[in-house]
Amino acid sequence: MEGFLGGLAVLVDPYVMLMVLLGTVLGIFVGALPGISGSTTIALMLPMTIAMGPVPAICFLGAIYCAANFGGSITAILVNAPGDPSASATALEGFKMAEKGQAGLALGMSAVASAIGGIFSVVVLIVAAPLLAQSAYSFGPPEYFALALFGLSMCAAIGGDSAVKNLIAAALGLLIATVGMDLTTGVERYAFGVMELSDGIGFVPVLIGLFAFGEMLDQAARRYGKPTIAFTDAARVPGWAEMRKCARSIWIGSGIGTFIGALPALGATTAALIGYNETRRWSKHKHEFGHGSIEGVAGPEAANNAAVGGSMVPTLALGIPGSATTAIILAGLIVQGVRPGPHLFNEQPTLLYAVFASMLAANLFYLAMGLYMARFFARISLIPSAFLWPAVFVLCVVGAYGPNQSMGDVYVMLAAGVVGFLFRRAGFSPAPLIMGLVLGGMVEETLKQSLIIFGDDLSGFLGRPIALLLFAVTAAGLLWPVASRLLRFARAARA
């Protein structure tokens, strides 16, 4: 409690509060822009946060993450174009409600359910993260190695075409992380005599290239027509009857979102889709789904915002990203010289609790803005692509150049952008590559440390029950789809 009050005290600093407010406005703004997701924006903003100092920087990025998920619902409801992938489930019922003349109610319910889901998950974060960190104190390199492998294996379910493609992307991320000097042997790897590569490939240019420049190249090939706002209704605060009707959906969404978010690699989009399905399954008004159900807006909105706090639990407590976006935030923390993990709770409690407090504040900010400024934010989707995407490219170049003032980083960004574009075209998701890149150092370091502890004998892992359990869960998760297919074949052959 003392730590949390300390965090609140940090938040009273007008500069930090301004960053949270700016992050919230920017988050809603980009969330409402179809094509630019929260993760793209956080990647683009990362270079600007380097000059801010750790607390305002992480509060700013956290606020963008919280608000972008909500912002996506505005255009999902009014334009049927989810601004953020996590709002795709909201569009299913939200746009139908707008067609029925209930756009204002849908926007109001979206804002309220998002805020409840978001606040619920931050409360879980405040309680669960220190407990998880405390239990992780007994973890040694073997357990961290097993945990990082588990996190990478979860990439299989992150999105994209297939689990195999996701695992390939994650492994490529691990491979990129090996570029540069190996710290235990002093040997340069894949540097080819290029000075800039000796220190390894920086997170910032790769993140900007994969997410922002890659998306820009893809958008150039598509060049959609100008969107039009179908319905511009002012948001309406839901009444008591509507809140009672949606209470179950909101709690189901909040619970599912927090749980899914806390699993490594899975983020808000998965949470929203599962939240939508479960809301429909448990609803007393199933017949309304598909025709503009208000519960179908409340459930996924609570879920995708609850996933934000949930995904910060493993990120901060263990240093294992809970989603693609938190992988970028984790990279931001590392760039700031902060290494997340259990020791952070002892070493920098103020930073952590300031992050928690800022996420609570961001949820309250976007609730207010969502209720009173939704119509204004909906107009954001009218910004012509002809201005937006060239500006994104320029920001990519300046953002990649900025932190180290190095043209080498600009070249890395451009190369990563081309890879990101090819990934999108071939049905690969760039998110697992980022997970691999962020976790690469940890995987190699902990494997090497484990082998030193075990005297180069891999069977040493057998004496570490937590590591064994994590290996078993990883293997089960990876092999289950294959095993279930074999079982189906066997059953079909018998029949």
**Which parts of this chain interact with another protein (CB under 8 A)?**
48, 51, 161-162, 164-165, 167-168, 171-172, 174-175, 178, 182, 184-190, 213, 216-217, 220-223, 384-387, 389-391, 393-394, 397-398, 401-402, 405, 407, 410, 414, 425-428, 444, 447-449, 451-452, 456
Phi/psi of residue 181, nearest 5 degrees:
-75, 130
Beta strands in 169-213 (DSSP E): 180-181, 188-189
Cα gap 228→102, rounded to integer Å: 18
Q: Which is nearer to another protein, 165 or 464 (CB)?
A: 165
* Spatial contact of 90 and 72, defined as CB atoms under 8 Å apart: yes
**Interhelix angle 407-425/214-222, nearest 10 degrees:** 50
Nearer to another protein, 348 or 449 (CB): 449
**Contact (Cβ atoms closer than 8 angstroms) between residue 271 and residue 329:** no
- In angstroms, what is the minimal distance from the CB of 202 to another protein? 16
Residue 257 contacts residue 266 (beta carbons within 8 Å):
no
Q: What's the token pair of residue 200?
A: 């390894």
Q: Which residue has the tokens 């020791």?
A: 343
How long is the chain?
Answer: 495
CB of 213 to another protein, least distance (A): 8
CB of 468 to another protein, least distance (A): 20
Q: Which two tokens stand for residue 379?
A: 């107009």
Structure tokens at 221: 């090939």
Closest CB to another protein among 236 and 448?
Answer: 448
Strand segments (E) across 209-345: none
Do 257 and 273 form a contact (C-beta atoms < 8 A)? no
Burial class (CB in 10 A: 0-12, 13-18, 19+), 16: buried
Least distance to another protein, CB of residue 442, Å: 12
Q: What is the smallest separation between the CB atom of 388 and another protein, expressed in angstroms?
A: 9
- Amino acid making up residue 466: I
Q: Would you say 391 or 487 has its CB closer to another protein? A: 391
Q: At what angle do helices 88-99 and 268-282 cross, to 10 degrees?
A: 50
Q: Please give the structure tokens belonging to residue 293.
A: 């159900």
* Shorter beta-carbon distance to another protein: residue 187 or 495: 187
Nearest distance, CB of residue 352 and another protein, angstroms: 26
Nearer to another protein by C-beta: 186 or 465?
Answer: 186
Q: 188 vs 196, which CB is nearer to another protein?
A: 188
Shortest Å, Cβ 121 to another protein: 32
Q: Would you say 128 or 170 has its CB closer to another protein?
A: 170
Which three-class secondary structure state does DSSP give residue 390? helix
Is the Cα torsion angle 419, 424, 428, 434 positive or negative in sign? positive
For residues 133 and 151, what is the distance between their CA atoms, to the nearest angstrom?
Answer: 16
Instruction: Say if residue 456 is exposed, middle or buried (CB neighbours under 10 Å; 0-12, 13-18, 19+).
Output: exposed
Residue 477 Cβ vs another protein, minimum distance, rounded to whole Å:
15
Residues 6+ apart with CB under 8 A from 192: none
**Cβ 382 to another protein, closest distance in Å?**
13
CB 305 within 8 A of CB 28: no
In whole angstroms, how close is the CB of 408 to another protein at the nearest point? 12
Could you tell me the two tokens for 348? Answer: 């920098």
* CA-to-CA dists, residue 379 to 38, 185, 392, angstroms: 18, 56, 19
Please state, in angstroms and rounded to a whole number, the distance separating the CA atoms of residues 65 and 448: 34
**Closer to another protein by Cβ: residue 108 or 214:** 214
- Cβ closer to another protein: 134 or 162? 162
Minimum separation from the CB atom of position 106 to another protein (A): 26
Nearer to another protein, 31 or 35 (CB): 35
